[in-house]
A and B are shown apart, each in its own frame.
Chain A
Amino acid sequence: MAKKQYAFYPGCSSQKGASASNYITSFGVMCEKLDIQLNEIPDWNCCGASIGYGEGGELPRMVLNARNLAIAEKDLPGQDIVSGCPACWLGLREAVDRLHEHDRLKTETNEALKEVNLTYKGGSKARHMTEVLIEDIGYAGIKAPVVKPLDGLKVAGYVGCQANRPYGIAGESFENPLYLDKMIEAVGAEAVPYEQKAACCGGALAFSEPEKAQAQIRQIVEAAYDNAADLIVTPCPLCQANVEIYQAEINKKHGTKLNMPVLYYSQLITVAYGGSVKEAGLNGQVIRAAKLDKIAGG
């Protein structure tokens, strides 16, 4: 079978040695088994993320994303642009939409792009990796390569915000998205009920308003405990980092004993496909997922 080709936009947190490097590691086995080929967009730049608005106005942010889109159109023609990071995906998708709808914005964007000898034509699609899995591969397709069903593993599917709003996955509800639960079940694990699945972890405000963000994170983790989850799984690097890293802070301040592993859907899939601890990036967890480590043979 010919491999499915995509223009890949990793984003800053997925670079080597960065906070979501375990995420990108786990794409290897998963994509190989599913015949997906990710072609990195050459010399891509940051999308501006969800905090770029403060200093960067609308046009600078559009232009940042348009540069990535224009390089992909030129060097990887005809391929959908895929990112694993919801903020990157949102930045790209917002640019695709606004540049399509507003002629003036598109003209201005192309005027700025002249500085790097690029033109944004439009027409390419920006997608999140979960969309590729759900829409191009399908739940049955995700299940097909499973060699180690994750029997008995209880997982809280934490979708978070930007993998769900304002665009989300086609056909899903904003209040109770089910796609992540379906992906968890496709690899043989149990998706536990989870009231906090679409709650906000504080996002970039974990840096600026730590107390307020950590109150959110505490609820997200405690709800996973309430539903007897072994671990939390998310499609978002910022959710993953915030919810995992700040548990120690919350424990220190409030005397709690939070120690809930937070992983990516792709790490679960990799283990179910027979991937090792290293291939699934499980050694990149700050809070190790003992049960999953064991299944993976670590």
Chain B
Amino acid sequence: MSDLNTQAVARYKNNFLREVEERVEEGNMVKMCMQCGVCAGSCPFGPHWQHSPQKIFMMIRAGKREEVLSSDSMWMCTSCYNCIVRCPRKLPITHIMHGLANYAHRLNLAAKGQPTRDVARLFWNNLMKTGRINELTFSLGLYFKDGFIQGIKNSLAMQAAGLGLLKAKRLNPMEIFGGHKCKEKSGIHRMIAKAREIEDRRRGLA
């Protein structure tokens, strides 16, 4: 268990709803859920998660902290926004799921090796390098995230797609040498470090 998690447990004791309201993006809207289940029926990945958004919201109110933060549900969000536009109480469900995913990741309660968690981290780290996403190094990073052998297997499995894109000139092998970048990349690093520092201080994660 991470130090941040121990501190959070000590601080909020059994009031998980308050913890979510104070620390999770749009978390103050959780208590508006009236348990109708429209979100559950609207999610394209509905058959695949452990808990529907509706269940997650009730579990938050019931103080089921570990179960919520270690659930795979928020990592199944494709950001399709079906739940948001259909919710009769206008809860920003997609944003709350994103916020819960981020919080579970920061406290290190999200499952190790959760594939969407890994992809999200790779994506962010990739964009932070130059200020822009480098699709080649992002894809390679993805294939090789579970080691070299698995990486070769993954690359071979995706060879057809990769070659198709190369042939269509929509994947540039020269991007391996850095590729597109922002001129002000060090400024962007400072700017994001500052933003994270401010937000962590506010959320009690500093």
Contact = CB atoms under 8 A, between A and B. Distances in A.
Interface of A: 12-13, 15-22, 43-46, 48-60, 62-64, 67, 108-109, 111-116, 161-162, 165-166, 174, 199-200, 202-205, 207-209, 212-213, 216, 245-246, 248-249, 252, 283-286
Contacts of A64: 192
A205 B45 contact: yes
B58 interface: no
Given A50-B79, A55-B120, A200-B44, 20 more contacts: A12-B135, A13-B133, A15-B180, A20-B170, A22-B168, A43-B183, A46-B127, A49-B127, A53-B120, A54-B105, A54-B123, A55-B121, A62-B195, A108-B198, A112-B198, A161-B82, A162-B79, A166-B81, A203-B78, A286-B168
A161 B79 contact: yes
Interface residues of B, number: 67
B184 A43 contact: yes
Contact of B196 (A51, A60, A246): A60
A54 B192 CA distance: 15
Interface in B119-139: 119-121, 123-125, 127, 131-133, 135
A200 B192 CA distance: 31
B170 A17 contact: yes
Interface string B178-206: 01101110011011101110110011000
24 contacts: A16-B180, A17-B175, A43-B182, A44-B182, A46-B127, A51-B119, A51-B120, A53-B102, A54-B124, A57-B25, A57-B102, A57-B195, A63-B192, A111-B194, A114-B194, A115-B187, A115-B190, A200-B44, A204-B78, A204-B119, A204-B120, A207-B142, A216-B44, A252-B160
